[in-house]
Amino acid sequence: MTKLENDRFLRALLKQPVDRTPIWMMRQAGRYLPEYRESRAKAGDFLSLCKNADFACEVTMQPLERFPLDAAILFSDILTIPDAMGLGLYFETGEGPKFKRTVRSQQDFDQLIIPKVEDDLGYVMKAISTIRHELNGKVPLIGFSGSPWTLATYMIEGGSSKDFRHSKAMLYDTPELMHQLLDRLADVVIEYLNAQIAAGAQAVQIFDSWGGALSHRAYQEFSLKYMSKIVAGLNRQAEGRTVPVILFSKGGGQWLQSMASVGADALGLDWTTSLRDARALVGDRVALQGNMDPSVLYAKPERIREEVACILEEYGRGSGHVFNLGHGIHQFVDPDHAKAFIDAVVELSPHYHLDD
Q: How far is CA 74 from the centre of its chain?
A: 10
CATH class, domain 8-353, is: alpha beta
Q: Which of 31, 37, 184, 303 is catalytic?
A: 31
Instruction: Give the β-pairing of 241-242 and 237-238.
Output: antiparallel
37 is catalytic: no
Nearest to 186 by CA among 211, 150, 215: 150
C-alpha to C-alpha distance for 223 and 347, rounded to whole angstroms: 38
Report d(CA 197, CA 245) in Å as an integer. Answer: 11
66, with CB counted inside 10 A (0-12, 13-18, 19+), is middle
CA distances for 317 relative to 19, 120, 266, 314, 349, angstroms: 12, 45, 17, 9, 9
Parallel, antiparallel or unpaired: strands 141-146 and 241-242: unpaired
Domain regions of the chain by residue span: 8-353
Catalytic residue among 32, 154, 219, 315: 154
Residues within the annotated binding site for substrate?
27-31, 77, 154, 209, 327
Three-state secondary structure of 135-174: HCCCCCEEEEEECHHHHHHHHHHCECCCCCHHHHHHHHHC
Confidence at 239, pLDDT banded by 50, 70, 90: very high
CB contact set of 288 (below 8 Å; sequence gap of 6+): 266, 267, 268, 269, 275, 278, 279, 282, 315, 320, 321, 322
DSSP-derived 3-state class of residue 28: coil
Answer yes or no: is pLDDT of 93 > 90.
Answer: no
Q: Is the pLDDT of residue 331 over 60?
A: yes
Q: What is the mean pLDDT of residues 24-45?
A: 95
- Return the SS3 of 51: helix
User: Average pLDDT of 244-269?
Assistant: 97
Distance of CA 351 to the CA centre of its chain: 28
Residue pLDDT, tens place only, 144-200 = 999 999 999 999 999 989 999 999 999 999 999 999 999 999 999 999 999 999 999
Q: Mark whether 123 is an active-site residue.
A: no
What's the pLDDT at 91? 85
Q: Which of 7, 70, 77, 208 is catalytic?
A: 77
Percent of the chain beyond pLDDT 70? 99
40 included as an active-site residue? yes
- pLDDT at 356 > cutoff 70: no
Concerning whether 279 is annotated as a catalytic residue, the answer is no
Distance of CA 267 to the CA centre of its chain: 11
Confidence of residue 96 (pLDDT cuts 50, 70, 90): confident
- Active site includes 276? no
- The model's pLDDT over 118-137, given as tens digits with 9 standing for 90+, comes to 999 999 999 999 999 999 99
Amino acid identity, position 258: S
